[in-house]
Amino acid sequence: MNIPPAKAPRQKRVSLAVLLLIILLGWWVFFVYQRPVPAPTAPTAVPIPVTARGDLAADEQSTIALFRSASPAVVYITNIEVRRNIFSLNIHEIPKGTGSGFIWDKQGRIVTNYHVIESASRVEVTLADRSTWQATLVGVAPDKDLAVLQISAPTGKLAPLPLGESHNLLVGQKVFAIGNPFGLDQSLTSGIVSALGREIQSATGRTIQGVIQTDAAINPGNSGGPLLDSAGRLIGVNTAIYSPSGGSAGIGFAVPVDVVAKVIPEIIQHGRLIRPGLSISVADDQIARRVGVTGVLVMNIQPGSSAEAAGLRGTRRVRGEIVFGDVIVAVDGHKVFSYDDLRNALDHYKVGDTVTLTIEREERQMQLPVVLEEIG
């Protein structure tokens, strides 16, 4: 049976409707769905309130005030060495090293470590205001690792540090170091007194006693700079660090200000440290130990000296045999075991003082009063 021809137009209408729907869907996808969505508007920034600097803690404000007060007294020292070129034989100057120092008085005297300026051909001192001055050497005390320089800066540029005391320091009190570690000038570090009564060796090998130990960061370049208490007073001169790596390991040492206050005026007046002594020569400590001597074995006595007048005996030869001289075992009751001990003991006195030496002579002990004399 044949389909009536009247239904063909209806199928055609359905096809047109489907085609129109596809066209509308494609238009919507292309023009509407893929249209970029505008970015959301950023919220208005709210300003963060600024807190006034006056809200710093009291100890911070105290440290800031200490640095502002003390730092103008700290100087940068350059050790300049003269060398000859091995090819042209021309002489030229090169920086040998740098260190720190501080202004001692209004006359332009600068205190630093002896090892900072040792063997220098010329020394330059740079003040906190960046002005540089050529320095002349006033004098040195190598045994104490101290030296004094002189610059001709105007008085207005010179701000000396106030002196404190070191004999009454306490382990645990705050300390501050200002210097030029690794050439970084005007650097401040802080810490505490870690220990007291330490001993270190000077450039001459002589023991420096009563040294202050601190954990304030002290690095190469800090040498000669001041160690201060919380009131900004000088309590020591930074002189050495203990460090396997060469940097700060939290163990630094400073020559106590009580020693500095005694030595510096003598250097200024005499160009050197006036040392009281006995005008004797003694046996090397190793030799003395080798022959069984515990103490300081006297070898020779200067003729006409107070030691000779006191009856002190030196080592001598009698009928071809060596007879040992007196062995000093104590000074005013304080035992000594080496020549270094003896010199350190006599450092507590001055020229003209009388001390009582305890000596061993022919297997018996006796006391001899001796007047101390100036020695070189």
Name 211's Cβ contacts closer than 8 Å, sequence gap at least 6. 197, 198, 199, 200, 239, 253, 254, 255, 256
Contact yes or no for 103/75 (Cβ under 8 A): yes
Name 231's Cβ contacts closer than 8 Å, sequence gap at least 6. 66, 164
Q: Say whether 340 sits in a helix, a strand or coil.
A: helix
Six-digit token pair at 362?
Answer: 């022919």
With tokens 């190598």, the residue in question is: 142
Clarify whether 167 is annotated catalytic. Answer: no
Task: Please tell me which residue in 100, 143, 145, 248 is annotated as part of the active site.
Answer: 145
Q: Say whether 249 sits in a helix, a strand or coil.
A: coil
Cross-strand partners of 227: 177, 236
Task: Please tell me which residue in 190, 223, 305, 338 is annotated as part of the active site.
Answer: 223
Query: Angle at Cα 7 formed by Cα 6 and Cα 8, nearest 5°?
Result: 100
Clarify whether 245 is annotated catalytic. Answer: no
Closest of 286, 281, 292 to residue 343, by C-alpha: 281
Clarify whether 285 is annotated catalytic. Answer: no
Q: Would you please indicate which residues are annotated as catalytic (active-site) residues?
A: 115, 145, 223
